[in-house]
Chain A
């Protein structure tokens, strides 16, 4: 089971740099620590992102160390970079309304083909609750960060579930509508 964090990696790295210059490797570690959870950031992705930021003038090279290991650049955020982070944080995310849901499609198809739509809903409901149980368990055992992330997912799942319940209660009405 994965929780996919949908986020802008460029803005996140910039934001992490704002607390002080640091090396690419440290940036990756710090990102993984806070937001990695299920999937660590690939090292290559850090470098490609940093070079894009460098090109856009949002970061600058603060120092260069060589010898021992790989080349180590120290990055620092520029004023333009700080402005960019500020703008990103201040901009609301567009709510995603999921207007075309697979579940809805399944229910309609079941009704059209004369299958038991209630069964489909209940099966889905059980599946949702199973995942919610899993998340709840992780939430109980995890730290505050885990809890916030799990709750985010739980609330979304709960919203689905409430939709499932509501739809179950409206199946009769829906059948009439569809078979008109």
Chain B
């Protein structure tokens, strides 16, 4: 696919003696939402980590926006993650001692945006995710669903081109999970960000445009299977 924003080809990764990826393929276009599904332990999170440049695959290539991610240094990939990628995880991702607003503003501040401006922009995103009233609260004082919305706001505050969401609703009930997904998809669509969504729930995967299934470290593009 020529217009792909981020793609991985023939990715292999082994932890110790356990193979996590064994020839996985992946591609995503700008503004696209792609779900990565599969049983636990199939390697879907590892695929996400490789694509996001958090983990370097043992072999294979990852291209992002014309650049070869696997050839970049650790520092270069960190810088890329700061500027171009957003992240939402299942839990344990908010810094407990910072207020919600400070959490949201954190990625901007890591990009050397001045505190005032970072927090103003953070607050805008909190408004869009309907959690502006939690700005002064700390993560320990809010519910799980609110926490995930804060996390979504934090992922989107730098206007990333790719959002990586690893089981973003895994710890939430259906109602909160659906709400978070709607907000995430809506907000990402409005900024034309692509979303790489790892989930094991079909209802959550149904928010995607396309899904691939990872089994035993191999990926299968279901659009082609159909």
Q: Which residues of A contact B (CB under 8 A)?
A: 119, 122-123, 125-130, 132-133, 135-136, 140, 151, 154-155, 157-158, 161-162, 165, 169
In the complex, what's the smallest C-beta–C-beta distance from B102 to chain A, in angstroms?
31
B82 near A: Cβ within 8 Å? no
C-alpha spacing A161/B174, complex, angstroms: 17
Minimal Cβ-Cβ distance residue in A for B209: A133
- Since A132-B202, A136-B203, A154-B206 are in contact, a sample of 9 more A-B pairs with Cβ atoms closer than 8 Å, ordered by chain A residue number, is A122-B225, A123-B226, A125-B213, A128-B202, A129-B202, A129-B222, A130-B226, A136-B207, A155-B203
A158 and B202 contact, CB distance less than 8 A: yes
Is residue B211 contacting chain A, with contact meaning CB distance below 8 A? yes
Question: What residues of chain A lie closer than 8 Å to B205, measured between beta carbons?
Answer: 129, 132
Q: Which residues of B contact A154 (CB under 8 A)?
A: 203, 206
B226 touches A162 (CB 8 A): no
Whether the pair A126, B225 counts as a contact (CB closer than 8 A) is yes
Question: Which 3 pairs across A and B sit closest by C-beta, in order of nearness?
Answer: A126-B226, A132-B206, A161-B202
Q: Which residue of B lies closest to A126 (CB)?
A: B226
Task: Flag whether B93 is at the interface (Cβ < 8 A).
Answer: no
Residues in chain B near residue A140, CB distance under 8 A: 182
A sample of 25 inter-chain contacts (CB < 8 A) reads A119-B225, A125-B213, A125-B222, A125-B225, A126-B222, A126-B223, A126-B226, A128-B202, A129-B206, A129-B211, A129-B222, A132-B202, A132-B203, A132-B205, A133-B206, A133-B207, A133-B208, A133-B209, A140-B182, A151-B174, A154-B206, A155-B203, A158-B201, A161-B202, A169-B39
CB atoms of A165 and B226 under 8 A apart: no
**Closest residue of A by beta carbon distance from B221:** A126
Least CB separation from A161: chain B residue: B202
B220 within 8 A of A: yes
Interchain CA distance A132-B203 in the complex, whole Å: 7
Q: Which listed residue (A127, A135, A155, A158) contacts B226, Cβ 8 A?
A: A127
Chain B residues whose CB sits within 8 angstroms of the CB of A119 once the complex forms: 225
Complex: how many Å from CA A165 to CA B205? 14
